[in-house]
């Protein structure tokens, strides 16, 4: 099979080209202007940006009123995104909703293509058997066409493609030792705190990423202050926290309709754990793993080891934090592990990726088997799939620990036996 994939036969080369063209065409079709889609998720960024551009906080009733006027008949939720989104949302609101949504969708497709290219470049250091161009064609097809999250994100205006691009940029910056790129990537990642905070926790243990992470944190703080406004930042921050607290009151955000530990607790009829508690748990898991890496003698100045730790942090956040299906687009860097490991590890990875990529389709096929509600079936598949990805990333990190331990034992001086010590 690998011989065929490496073949320079014109038919094989044409197949890779066709794969890339099909994926690009599929994204363009989804990004084409469609007035029936822009009110879904994208509308919140446009509404928030419109208010921010006039000096009004989007965390109060003004957003609900503007939403009712601009999108009559559409349900308008509070704005849940952190205040460092202000520059992005503000630029978005400079155009009409239709124009802005089309540009957002087109840029989402570009972000997916960029992520695929960066993963292809990274694959060269992760034992990929194919050329960069061929890996790009495979990654683009998988992320754009196989992963339902990519299609949905483009259609309804989810920000996940940009978060994916930020994550792959961070990984590539480590591989290329580019501190400027790392700073930009970390600043962009902080737009998604439940993913970026665990990753930043891992990054602090990586010598190369310490300065970029601290600088990105400072920039994010300034952007957050800008988003909260200079007039009443404390009141606006409290309003933001109130919106976050109300997040779980909407049916689509109930634990049984999302993934992770809270979904499992919902199956047992146990009350959900606070997202802040889960974030603390995730930070603890990542921090312990990073500290244990250092204890085992893992050299985190080594690019491969650093990327492995960052992948583990990303998969930990994907599993432990309550997550919607479209957000699992950020787990696509786990594809790198498929080119690095084989056997049971690769099988578990493929199954996990398939579950999170096609959970919506699987829920239609298994409707009523376990849950009468298809959304709960999606949560089940996502929880199992993200759990497998977390386990695979943990297994990969364990191999790094064992390898480092072997190297330490090999390089350590052999203790003298009593006889040889006496002779000496």
Indicate whether 423 belongs to any domain: no
Residue 3 lies in a domain: no
Indicate whether 74 pLDDT > 90.
no
pLDDT exceeds cutoff 70 at 345: yes
Choice between 338 and 66, residue whose per-residue pLDDT is larger: 66
**Over 70: is that where the pLDDT of 29 sits?**
yes
Return d(Cα 367, Cα 393) in angstroms, integer. Answer: 30
Assigned domain for 421 exists:
no
Cα dihedral angle (252, 258, 264, 270), rounded to 10 degrees? -30
Q: What is the pLDDT of residue 177?
A: 94
Lowest mean pLDDT segment, chosen from 111-115, 347-351, 408-412: 408-412
Confidence of residue 38 (pLDDT cuts 50, 70, 90): low
Lowest mean per-residue pLDDT among 48-57, 196-205, 224-233, 382-391: 224-233
- Examine the pLDDT at 422 and tell me if it is beyond 50: no
Average pLDDT over residues 247-259: 88
Q: At what angle do helices 42-53 and 61-70 cross, to 10 degrees?
A: 120
> For residue 126, what pLDDT is reported?
75
What pLDDT is stored for residue 423 in this prediction?
Answer: 39
Contact 381, 362 (CB under 8 A): yes
Q: Report the alpha-carbon distance of residue 107 to residue 191 in Å, rounded.
A: 17
pTM of the model: 0.91
Please check the confidence at residue 249 and state whether its pLDDT lies above 80: yes
Query: Is pLDDT above 70 for 409?
Result: no
Give 256-294 pLDDT, tens digit per residue.
889 999 999 998 888 889 889 999 999 999 999 999 999
What confidence score (pLDDT) does residue 36 get? 63
Would you say 293 and 397 are in contact if contact means Cβ atoms under 8 Å apart?
yes
Q: What is the mean pLDDT of the chain?
A: 88
Is 412 a domain residue? Answer: no
Residue 28 belongs to a domain? yes
Domain that includes residue 296, residue range: 10-405
Higher local confidence (pLDDT), 4 or 73: 73
In a domain, 325, yes or no: yes
Instruction: Look at residue 221 and tell me if it is in a domain.
Output: yes
**Residue 121 pLDDT exceeds 90:** yes
- Mention every residue, 6+ apart, whose C-beta is less than 8 A from residue 159: 45, 153, 191, 192
pLDDT at 1: 45
pLDDT-based confidence at 37, cuts 50/70/90?
low
Look at 27-36, 71-80, 133-142, 171-180 and tell me which has the smallest mean pLDDT. 27-36
- Report pLDDT digits (tens) over 362-400: 888 876 666 667 788 888 999 999 999 999 999 999 999
Range 133-160 average pLDDT = 91
Whole-angstrom CA distances from 396 to 165, 333, 389, 403 are 23, 14, 10, 11
Q: Is 225 a residue whose pLDDT tops 50?
A: yes
Contact 378, 254 (CB under 8 A): no
| pLDDT (0 to 100) of residue 268 | 87
pLDDT at 417 over 70: no
109-113, 220-224, 270-274, 310-314: range with lowest mean pLDDT: 270-274
Total domains in the chain come to: 1
In a domain, 204, yes or no: yes
In 3D, which of 246, 243, 255, 251 has the Cα closest to residue 82?
243
Is pLDDT larger for residue 232 or for residue 111?
111
pLDDT band at residue 7 under the 50/70/90 scheme: low
The predicted structure's pLDDT at residue 13 = 81
């Amino acid at each position: 099979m690998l011989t065929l994939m490496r073949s320079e036969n014109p038919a094989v080369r044409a197949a890779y080209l066709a794969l890339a063209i099909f994926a690009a065409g599929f994204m363009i079709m989804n990004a084409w202007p469609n007035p029936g889609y822009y009110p879904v998720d994208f509308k919140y960024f446009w509404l928030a940006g419109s208010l921010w551009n006039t000096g009004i906080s989007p965390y109060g009733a003004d957003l609900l009123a503007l939403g009712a006027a601009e999108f009559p008949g559409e349900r308008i939720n509070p704005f849940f995104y952190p205040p460092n989104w202000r520059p992005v949302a503000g630029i978005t609101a400079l155009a009409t909703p239709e124009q802005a949504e089309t540009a957002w969708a087109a840029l989402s497709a570009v972000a997916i293509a960029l992520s695929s290219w960066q993963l292809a470049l990274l694959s060269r250091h992760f034992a990929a058997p194919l050329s960069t161009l061929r890996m790009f064609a495979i990654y683009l097809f998988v992320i754009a066409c196989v992963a339902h999250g990519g299609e949905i994100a483009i259609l309804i205006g989810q920000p996940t493609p940009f978060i994916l691009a930020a994550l792959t940029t961070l990984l590539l910056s480590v591989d290329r030792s580019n501190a400027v790129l790392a700073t930009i990537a970390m600043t962009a990642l902080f737009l998604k705190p439940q993913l970026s905070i665990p990753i930043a926790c891992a990054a602090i243990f990586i010598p190369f990423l310490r300065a970029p992470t601290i600088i990105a944190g400072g920039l994010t703080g300034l952007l957050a202050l800008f988003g909260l406004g200079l007039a009443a930042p404390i009141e606006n921050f409290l309003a933001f926290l109130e919106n976050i607290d109300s997040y779980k009151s909407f049916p689509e955000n109930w634990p049984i309709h999302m993934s992770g530990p809270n979904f499992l607790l919902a199956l047992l009829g146990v009350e959900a754990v606070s997202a802040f508690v889960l974030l603390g748990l995730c930070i603890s898991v990542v921090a312990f793993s990073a500290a244990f890496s250092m204890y085992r003698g893992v050299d985190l100045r080594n690019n491969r080891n650093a990327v492995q730790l960052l992948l583990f942090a990303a998969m930990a956040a994907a599993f432990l934090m309550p997550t919607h299906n479209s957000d699992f687009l950020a787990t696509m860097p786990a594809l790198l592990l498929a080119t690095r490991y084989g056997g049971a590890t690769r099988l578990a990875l493929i199954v996990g990726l398939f579950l999170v990529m096609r959970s919506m389709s699987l829920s239609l096929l298994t409707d009523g088997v376990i849950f009468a509600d298809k959304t709960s079936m999606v949560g089940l598949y996502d929880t199992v799939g993200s759990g497998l990805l977390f386990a695979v990333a943990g297994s990969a990190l364990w191999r790094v620990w064992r390898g480092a331990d072997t190297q330490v034992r090999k390089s350590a001086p052999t203790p003298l036996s009593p006889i040889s010590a006496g002779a000496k």
